[in-house]
Structure 1
Amino acid sequence: MKTFLTCSDKTKIESPQFLKQSLGAIKKANRQHSKKRKGSANRERARLNLVRKHS
């Protein structure tokens, strides 16, 4: 892992891994989206949920 920040007293802070932390939720949302019928309101709702998880 790369060092994100090194302080003047040589303290190193690791890079935050936001994508890694939310990968499980993104995978679940993607599976839910893929199981919905194309063109349905539920699919659109699942798509918006997936977009929300990505950002």
Structure 2
Amino acid sequence: MTTIAVPSKLPQLHAYVDPELKEEVEKLAKRRRRTVSSLIAYLLQLEVEKAKKEGEIQ
């Protein structure tokens, strides 16, 4: 499978993670037919929505 880079005007967010976690995230993204970036963005959005709902952030 060929990966095509698509330029984005969205801000970037960088994180350092354990190599094993990175591997698992890559596997999950592949299984869900997503890029790692889109999977992480989706999971972050879910967490932010949850935190807002629970009053942790406004």
Under a length normalisation based on structure 1, what TM-score does the superposition of the two structures give? 0.31
Which structure dedicates a bigger proportion of its chain to strand? 1
Q: Tell which structure's C-alpha radius of gyration is larger.
A: 1
Under a length normalisation based on structure 2, what TM-score does the superposition of the two structures give? 0.30
